[in-house]
Chain A
Amino acid sequence: MIEIKNLHKSYKMGSNSLHVLKGINFSCEAGELVAIMGSSGSGKSTLLNILGMLDELDEGSYDLDGVPIKNLNETKAAQYRNKFLGFIFQSFNLINYKSALENVALPLYYQRVGRKERQEKALKYLEQVGLKEWATHLPSELSGGQKQRVAIARAMAAEPKVLLADEPTGALDSKTSYEVMDLIQKINDAGNTILVVTHEEDIAEMCKRIVHLKDGVIVEDKKVEQVRASQYV
């Protein structure tokens, strides 16, 4: 599903250049649930941004579902993001003046899905995350956990190949975190590929594979026995 070879990325900081990713080799099959771990500054968010086509790589290659992701213009990148990827952010990034349903329907709108079908699909995914009754509420009327579940429904709505979650539990208390992880595990059980960036040990252990990053290189890549979040809920 994802194939990364010898990935380099550096940022210009004035006259200095900060080498963030120093030759990453990483691949991931369909249906995997991978945690990308590392302390801050390890390059894990940069890696996720490149995977999400939110940022460009300097060197190396990146194939997503057999499509080489290289030298994309903005329009192409937007279309690929819409087709291949669903995003879950730490700060939820919902549009605050749109209802839960409208937020979930947004990627479908950009896929030019008809209005009626869009509403139906969005409602279906809201139901999956258990927020059907909250469809008409604005993000400001939802709790943190609910917001993140709306964001997950939104990420799912476009039926992407890969879900990318950047610290999805970073802004939530531990109980709500486990609820969100439970949801993510269930989505993964249904066959979806999910990458989770986190620095929390317990969240990482709820995935099936942990990749450790340190100073821009992968220092460890191991399969783990998945801890089910449902037991804590």
Chain B
Amino acid sequence: MFSLDTWKEILKTIQKNKLRTFLTGFTVALGIFIYVTLYGMGNGLNNTFMKFFGDDATNIFRIYPSQTTLPFGGYKAKRQIEFKNNDLEAIAKEFGPLMDYITPQIQRGAFVTFKNKSDNYTTRGVAPGMQFAEKTIMMKGRYINAKDVRDRTKYAVIGRMVEKDLFQGEEAMGKYIDIGGSAFKVIGVFQDDGGDNEERFIYLPYSTRQLIEGNNDKVNQITLAFNEAIGYSGAMKFQSNLEDFLRKRKVISPKDPRGLRIENVADNLKQNQQFASVLKIIISGIAFSVIISGILGISNIMVFVVKERTKEIGIRKAMGATPRIIISTILLESIFITAIFGFIGLALGIITLNAIGGKVLEDDYFITNPAINSGTAIFVTILLIIAGALAAYVPAKRAARIKPIVALRDE
């Protein structure tokens, strides 16, 4: 069945029927190509979701204060809620065992100068825990530590882009920069997988920021990491207990839709992952339909091929070809064509994915690194080859059963 002669015979047939070979091959290649590209796009979309939510820790609550809308506990409506340092201490005291760390955040825009270069940057007054919450990666030096917070040091940890733009290739470590009129010493440079914008932040000890702003104890926002051991349901329960605790402490009506808000990153991530996976299922469905129509295409062409070659099959049978030989030759031919063109489509698809996986797609269509894993790609190609064989088998079997006399009469 796999002798050199058989292959010579098949190659000869393919050579002599170029158009037909091309049509069959084209259907197969197109099917695989579309499947690979669509599937890759789906993956790219998924990657974007992962990127949006994957660069920060996921065991995080972010607590934002806002204005109340209902009068409560003797206070009027439209009262601005503010967190203070002692709120953090109270939370730590109440929920200590459930928590990994807690950090305030005081975000301020600032005009930052080094030598004759200056620009506007966002500064964040934080505690050491923020490094884990933001998954900040230190390139040089160190992050803000507890001693910095306690001593209210004028130390700054700057992003990679800040160093690049402000220092113009000069070493930033140990240098002093002017942040909104105060000199800060650069003690660290960081990078962040969240992209360039995240690398334009400047982190300061929150206590230093409070000192600059008139030695107050106000905090914009609280970021809190729960112990991952408590699990998803534990986190949900913690969230609702925390909200109750804070509403009571800050005297906010339990019915007030505003006043404070706790953002649960884990919950957001879960919802978005669900959305992404539904999207992926839909795309896979479409891609699979394309494959199915590719298979139908092959079946159609193979039926035609066998019909077209009825007379030739008759001649071969008169010359002593057994049905087995007839069937295996047609099958091998079909498998050979689908295999070759399947891999061509596969290669083209992968090349296309690589070519389009650029910045424009990422920014405008939320598709990051579109790719198909090799396992899926090869599985689909093999599936199509098997389908090609099955598609050829039915007409081949019928051809082999035709009486040679009938086939020879066929003009």
- Which A47-99 residues have a C-beta within 8 angstroms of B? 49, 52, 54-55, 74-75, 78-79, 81-83, 87, 89, 93-95, 97-98
CB contacts (< 8 Å) of B318 on chain A: these are 52, 54, 81, 87, 93
Interface residues of B in 363-411 (CB under 8 A from A): 400-401, 403-405, 408
> B13-30: contact bitstring with A at CB < 8 Å (1 yes, 0 no)?
100110000000000000
Greatest chain B CB density within 10 A among A74, A98, A106 is at A74
Expressed in whole angstroms, the Cα–Cα distance for A75 and B9 within the complex equals 20
B185 to chain A, nearest CB (A): 84
Question: Are the C-beta atoms of A115 and B320 separated by less than 8 Å?
Answer: no
Identify which of A55, A93, A98, A110 contacts B320 (C-beta below 8 A): A110
Assuming the contacts A54-B404, A55-B405, A74-B400, asked whether A93 and B315 have C-beta atoms less than 8 A apart, the reply is yes
By DSSP majority rule, is chain A's interface helix, strand, loop, or mixed? helix
| Least Cβ–Cβ distance between A70 and chain B, in angstroms | 16
Question: Cβ of B93 < 8 Å from any Cβ of A?
Answer: no
Chain A interface category by residue count: 20 to 34
- Say yes or no: A78 contacts B5, CB within 8 Å: no
Q: Hey, which chain B residues are within 8 Å of A8, CB to CB?
A: none
B323 touches A74 (CB 8 A): yes
Q: Tell me which residues across on chain B come within 8 A of A52, comparing CB atoms.
A: 318
- Which chain A residues numbered 156 to 177 have a C-beta less than 8 Å away from chain B? 158
Residues on B with C-beta less than 8 A from A110 are 316, 319-322, 325
A127-168: CB near B (< 8 Å → 1, else 0) gives 000000000000000000000000000100010000000000
Contact with B319, one of A74, A82, A97 (Cβ below 8 angstroms): A82
In this assembly, does A111 line the interface, its C-beta being within 8 Å of a C-beta of chain B?
Answer: yes
Contact (Cβ within 8 A) B408 A111: no
Can you report 17 residue pairs joining A to B where beta carbons are below 8 Å apart? A54-B405, A54-B408, A74-B323, A75-B324, A78-B321, A78-B322, A79-B320, A93-B311, A93-B314, A93-B408, A95-B316, A97-B16, A109-B5, A109-B9, A110-B319, A110-B320, A115-B5
Nearest CB to that of A84 among chain B residues? B320
Instruction: Produce 1/0 per residue, B301-345, CB < 8 A to A.
Output: 000000000011011111111111100000000000000000000
Main SS class of interface, B: helix
B-side contacts of A83, CB under 8 Å: 320
Q: Which residues does chain A contribute within 8 Å of B5, judged by CB atoms? A: 109, 115
Please give, as numbers and ranges, the residues of chain A lying within 8 Å of B16 by CB-CB distance: 97
Please measure, in the bound complex, the distance between the C-alpha atom of A135 and the C-alpha atom of B150, giving whole angstroms: 100
Q: Tell me the complex Cα distance, A55–B409, Å.
A: 12
Interface size class of chain B, counting residues whose CB lies under 8 Å from the partner chain: 20 to 34
Q: Which residues of B contact A78 (CB under 8 A)?
A: 317, 320-323
Q: Does B115 sit at the interface, judged by CB under 8 A? A: no
* A195: min CB distance to chain B, Å: 15
Verify if A107 is at the interface (C-beta below 8 Å from B): yes
**CB within 8 Å for A95 and B315 given contacts A54-B408, A78-B323, A110-B325:** yes
Contact B12 A97 (CB under 8 A): yes
Residues of B near A49 (CB, < 8 A) are 405
CB–CB B312/A95 < 8 A: yes
**A128 CA / B405 CA spacing, docked (Å):** 28
Q: Does B4 contact A (CB under 8 A)?
A: yes
Q: Beyond A74-B323, A78-B323, A79-B320: 7 further Cβ-contacts under 8 Å?
A: A54-B405, A78-B321, A83-B320, A107-B319, A109-B9, A115-B5, A158-B319
A81 contact set on B, CB distance < 8 A: 317-320
Residue ID in chain B nearest A83 by CB atoms:
B320
B404 nearest CB neighbor, chain A only: A54
A54-B408, A97-B12, A97-B16 in contact; A75/B322 too (CB < 8 A)?
yes
> CB-CB < 8 A to A93: which residues of B?
311, 314-315, 318, 408
**Closest Cβ–Cβ distance, residue B400 to chain A (whole Å):** 7
Taken together as a complex, chains A and B put the C-alpha atoms of A79 and B314 apart, in Å, by 14
**CA separation between A131 and B395, bound complex, in Å?**
37
Q: How far is the CA of A231 from the CA of B314 in the complex (A)?
A: 36
| B405 touching A82, Cβ below 8 Å | no
From A74, A89, A107, B322 is in contact (CB under 8 Å) with A74
Residues from chain B with a CB closer than 8 A to the CB of A154 are: 319
CB-CB nearest in chain B for A54: B405
B1 to chain A, nearest CB (A): 12
Distance A109 CA – B405 CA, assembled complex (angstroms): 21
CA–CA, A109 and B401, complex, Å: 21
Task: Looking at the assembled complex, report how far the CB atom of A173 sits from the nearest CB atom of chain B, in whole angstroms.
Answer: 22
Q: Say how far B3's CB is from chain A's closest CB, in angstroms.
A: 9
